[in-house]
Structure 1
C-alpha cells in the first residue's frame, strides 16, 4: 500500500510516498480502508521534530481518518466489513489503510460525507475543550479566537456563540478569511497583520479586554494577546504555528489575576467520559445543521508536501483533506 513518510526531520520536502506493507488487525482491532485524511498543524510539528512528544523515525503522520471497515480482528463484533467510520489514530493516517482499536471508531451517519466527517474529530474536540474544559467559558463572556478561518478557529467561533459568548472577536490574515469568520458568527473581525491589531481588539471590547483567548501562533502574537486580557482572563495555548515559542515571566500575570493554560488533545482521549460526551454533542450539532464544517481543499495523498506548505504559509481556510 502507499503511505507518506519522512525519514528525517525538516521541511515539507522530506515527505515521501513509499510502498509499505499493509497492516493486519490484531485482537480488538479493525483494518480501515482510508478514504479521507485530516491534515493538522500537529502533522507539521511532527515532521519538523518539534511536537510535544518524541516522533520516532521513520514516521507516517496523520491522526485523523475516515474510511470503510475492510477487515476486523478477533473479538470485534460491533463493526463489520463495509461500515463507514471516522477515528483518531494518533499516527499512521497518511496511508491507504490503517489499523486501530475498534472502540475508537465512530460510525458515520447517513448523509455525512467522508470529507466533512474527517473535519470534525481532532479540531472539533480541540475547539470544544479549549472553550469548556480549559477556558471555562461563562455566559456573556468575550472570546478572542486567533486564526479564526482555520480548522480549529472556524469551529471555535461557532462553538463560542453556542456556549453563550456575548462577544466573539476573530482574527485572520486576509479579507477573505475575515469574511468567513464573520459568516460563522464572529461579532468583530480583526486583521492581525495590522500592526495596531491589539488596539482594534481592545476597542471591540470597549477597552475592557477579553475573558478568553485561544492562541496557537506564539511569539509576538502571544505577548500582544496577554495585553488584551481583562482581569481573571484565561489564555489557552494549543500550538506554536510560528515556530517561535513565546517566553514569559509568570509574575507578570499577577496584577490582573491572569491564567495561561496549555492544552494537548491526547490527554482528553485518556478520559473517556470527556471524549464520548463532547464528541456526541459535536456530532449532534453537525447533524442538526448548527455547526458548519468548512473544507478548505481536497488533495491527492501524493500532494502531502504541497498541503503542508499551504497550511504553514497560512494560505488556506478551513480543513485540508488528503485522499488516497
Structure 2
C-alpha cells in the first residue's frame, strides 16, 4: 500500500507518499480501507520530531480516519467487512489502509458523508472526554474555548451550545470571529486586542495554550471552575497562583488522548457514540470542513494548517 512517511524531521516538504508494508491485522483489530483522514496539530509536532507515536502504533501520521471495513481479526464481533466506519487512531491515518483496535472504531453518524466523517473522531473524543466527562460542563454553565476556529474549537462550540451552555471563545481575527458566531458562540474575544481574563468568568475552560494562558485562565475561572489543558502551544512552564486556586475552590487538569491505553480510549469512544452521535445525526453538531486535499499531497495540507488561516478541519482524501 501507499502512505505518507516523514523522511526526516522538518517542514511540510518532508512528507512523502511512498510504498510501504501492508498493516498486519492482529486479534481484536479492524482493517479499514481509507476514504479520508484529517490533519491535526499533533501531526505537525510529529513531523517536526517533537511527538513520537505511542508504542505499538503506526509510524505514519494521522490520528483519525474514515473508510470501509475490509477485514476483522479474531474475536471482533462488533464490525464486519463492508461497514462504513470512522476511527480514532494512535497513528497511521495518512495511508491507504490502517489496522485499529475495534474499541476505537465507530459507525459513521447518520447523515454525514463518509469522507467528512474523517474529521470527527479526534475532535469529538477530545471535546467530549475533556469538557464533559472530565470538566463536567452542565446545562446553563459557561464554557470558554480557546482557539474557537480550530477543529477542536469549532466542534466544542457546537456541542456545548447543543447541550445548553453559554459559550465564549477566543480568536485572532474579525473573519474568524464572524465564523465562530455562525457556529453558535455567544461571545467572541479577539485575543490580539483584549485580555480574555478581563472579559469572562467561566465554569469550564478548554485550553490549548498551556503556560502562556495559565495565569489568565485561573483569573477567568468562577468559584468551583475547572480548567482543562490539552495543548502547550504557549509553552510548558508557568507560575500557578495556588492561593487564587484555593480561594476559588477551582481545579486544573492536564490531559492527553493519544497516549491512553486502548481500553480507556474505548470507554471514551462508546460514550461519544451514545451521547454525541445522536446530536450529529440530528444536525445540531456537524463537521466543519475547511478544505479537502489529496492524501498524496499532505505537505500542502500541512502548509494550510501552519498558516493559521483555516476554520475547522483540513481533510486528506483518496
After TM superposition, is the score higher than 0.5?
A: yes
Q: What is aligned with 1:215? A: 207
2:76 and 2:223 map into 1 onto residues whose CA distance is: 52
Q: Deviations over 1:218-260 (max 9, x none)?
A: 3433333333223332211001234x22422353533433322
For residue 46 of structure 1, give the secondary structure of its aligned residue in structure 2.
helix
Q: 152-161 vs 254-263, which deviates more? A: 254-263
Kept in 2, the 8 Å contact 1:31–1:70? The answer is yes
Deviations 1:71-96 (A, max 9, x none): 34455455443321111221111111
Rounded to whole Å, the distance in 2 between the matches of 1:189 and 1:122 is: 24
Given that 2:101 and 2:262 are in contact with CA atoms closer than 8 Å, whether structure 1 keeps it comes out as no
Q: Which moves more between the two structures, 294-303 or 304-313?
A: 304-313
Give the conservation status (yes or no) of the 8 Å contact 2:35–2:65: yes
Show the counterpart of 2:171. 172
Post-superposition CA distance 1:187-227 (Å, at most 9, x none): 11111121x232xx634x4xxx2221111023433333333
Going from structure 1 to structure 2, the CA distance change for 1:42 and 1:191 (only over 3 Å counts) comes to same
Structure 2 counterpart SS, 1:132: helix
The 1:77/1:56 distance shift into structure 2, 3 A limit, reads: closer
Quickly say closer, same or farther: Cα 1:129–1:56, change in 2 above 3 A: closer
Q: What is the match of residue 197 of structure 1?
A: 195
Contact 2:53 2:91 in 1 (8 A): no
Q: Please, which moves more after superposition, 52-61 or 136-145?
A: 52-61
Pair 110,57 (structure 1): closer, same or farther in 2 beyond 3 Å: closer
2:293 counterpart of 1:302 = no
Contact 2:125 2:268 in 1 (8 A): no
CA distance in 2, matches of 1:132, 1:117: 21
Determine whether 1:60 maps to 2:51: no
Deviation at 1:313, TM superposition (A): 3.0
Instruction: Kindly state the Cα deviation for residue 36 of structure 1 after the two structures are TM-superposed.
Output: 0.5
Structure 2 residue aligned with 1:129: 129
Could you tell me how far apart the structure 2 residues matched to 1:32 and 1:283 are?
20
Q: Could you tell me which residue of structure 2 aligns to residue 10 of structure 1?
A: 10
Deviation at 1:110, TM superposition (A): 5.9
Give the SS at the match of 1:118.
Answer: helix
Cα separation, partners in 2 of 1:95 and 1:138, compared to 1, 3 Å: same
| Shift of residue 264, structure 1, vs aligned partner | 1.6
Q: Does 1:142 align with 2:134?
A: no
Q: Report the equivalent of 1:69.
A: 69
Could you tell me how far apart the structure 2 residues matched to 1:307 and 1:40 are?
10
TM-score by length of 1: 0.86
RMSD after superposition? 2.6
The residue number in structure 2 matching 1:84 is 84
Task: Tell me which moved more, 177-186 or 213-222.
Answer: 213-222
Instruction: Identify which of structures 1 and 2 has the higher relative contact order when contacts are C-alpha pairs closer than 8 Å and 6+ apart.
Output: 2
Provide the C-alpha distance between the structure 1 equivalents of 2:78 and 2:223, rounded to a whole number of angstroms.
Answer: 50
SS in 2 for 1:265: coil
Distance 1:227 1:102, change over 3 A: closer
2-structure distance, mates of 1:69, 1:274:
21
Residue segments in structure 1 that go unaligned for 5+ positions in a row: none
Q: Secondary structure at the match of 2:68?
A: strand
Contact 1:38–1:63 (CA under 8 A) maintained in structure 2: yes
| 3-state SS of paired residue (1:31) | strand
Distance across 2 between alignment mates of 1:42 and 1:9 = 14
Partner SS, residue 154 of structure 1: helix
Contact 1:4 1:16 in 2 (8 A): yes
